[in-house]
Amino acid sequence: MTTITTTTASTTGTGGGSRRAVGIRGEMTADDLAKYGLRDRWYPILPSRMVGSGEMKKVKRLNIDWLLFRDAQGVVHMLEDRCPHRSAPLSVGQHLGDRVACAYHGVQVDGTGKVVSVPGMPGCALEGKQATVSLKVVEAADTIFAFVPLTADSEPTPFILPDRLASPEHSWFPNYAEWAGPWRFYMDNVLDPMHGAFLHRDSHSMFAGDTSARFRIRETDRGFFFEKTDQRGKNFDWVEYVRGSMDYVDLEIPYAENAGPGGVFGIVGMSCPVDEHNSAIFHWRTRKVQGWEREVWRFLYRTRLEAKHWEVLEQDRVVLEVLADDADVDEHLYQHDLGVSRIRRIYRADAKKQAAILAGELV
Ligand code: FES
Ligand SMILES: [Fe+2]
């Protein structure tokens, strides 16, 4: 079931109205943005199950350290993991229900990033100040999402889940992995359906179909399809890249009859940069099934299919992790790589635009 809870947000503590990137204390160039992650979009941060009640969870995302914690109502908050006093990590402090206390001198910060108490000097000017970066968080599809703003002036866009995850007709299972590869390699990989017929040739789901194909790009009002022109419904034959409130890919892979009722296997995929070399990978494995078919699919998935899907995902991980850091320099691309070229162009343009905003050249 998809439940959505929203927390309030504040991005102060970043120079209030300045052109500094939120959570960054120096300059940020277009290259940095491309490396560490583009801003002004929603990202999946962590599966909900990984932040327990009373827990102080430290994560790195977009090259910044963050603290995730649930308040007494179970609502998740995401603060920069940096005390507004003298920058000790808040994550080594104490969880106090609706706030956290820094271990170093006891300063208390609530889920909105506001300093609520300075026990060493009650009444000092720091009290009441919005002094820690706090992101707007939504919990949905068993996942914690956050809007990562470019600057303190950035307005969070509406949170809209991918179609398959929002649809009551679909049943899904989330899947989370951490890969030692840059996030851009993940996007390149999913915009490259042809690897299904080679890398995954011996898998349970991508053994069929031709090993040669022609592709085309089909523009949509929310992104584009990259699809084979001469084969459909046999292998990984198409992918849609969607640029909505979050970037994601949507694709379908045919299932064999013994995979139970419900037709094709739908996948929604997203990645969140950890740092220059690592990414957090999120997939939701979906099927359009209802009633008893839904129960059969859920049973089959848990008992048999999930392990097979992990094997496929491992094939991707192994290749991406051995790619050189500069693997995307000096390539020899051909027609099958049009999707890869397109996504790179989109992200390069985004990075340049965001760098220009930071430099004050664009509003
Ligand atoms: S550094 Fe956190 S209270 Fe001093
Ligand atoms: Fe793959």
Residue among 79, 80, 82, 105 to mutate when testing ligand 1 (max atoms within 8 A of CB): 105
pLDDT at 113 over 60: yes
48-52, 59-63, 140-144, 200-204 — which is least confidently predicted? 200-204
**Distance between Cα 200 and ligand 2 center (Å):** 7
The pLDDT value recorded for residue 18 is 56
Q: What is the CA(118)–ligand 1 centre distance, in A?
A: 9
- The residue count of the chain comes to 363
d(CA 236, CA 345): 23
More confident residue, 311 or 363: 311
Contact 278, 180 (CB under 8 A): yes
Round the average pLDDT of the chain to a whole number and report it.
93
Atom of ligand 1 nearest to the CA of 105: 3
Mutate to test the pocket of ligand 1, among 107, 116, 127, 129 (most ligand atoms within 8 A of CB): 107
Atom of ligand 1 nearest to the CA of 90: 2
Q: Is 90 in the pocket of ligand 1 (CB under 6 A)?
A: no
Let me know if 250 is exposed, middle or buried by CB neighbors in 10 A (0-12, 13-18, 19+): buried
pTM: 0.94
DSSP E strands in the chain: the ranges are: 5-6, 41-47, 57-61, 64-70, 76-80, 94-95, 99-101, 108-110, 115-117, 134-140, 143-148, 170-179, 215-220, 223-228, 238-243, 247-253, 265-273, 279-288
Q: What burial letters (b/e) apply to 158-196, b meaning 16+ CB within 10 Å?
A: ebebbbbbeeeebbbbbbeeebebbbbbbbbbbbbbbbb
Task: Using alpha carbons, select from 187, 182, 241 the residue that is nearest to residue 36.
Answer: 182
Q: How far is CA 163 from the centre of its chain?
A: 16
Residue 184: CB within 6 Å of ligand 1? Answer: no
pLDDT at 260: 82
Cβ of residue 85 lying under 6 Å from some atom of ligand 1: yes
pLDDT at 104 exceeding the cut of 50: yes
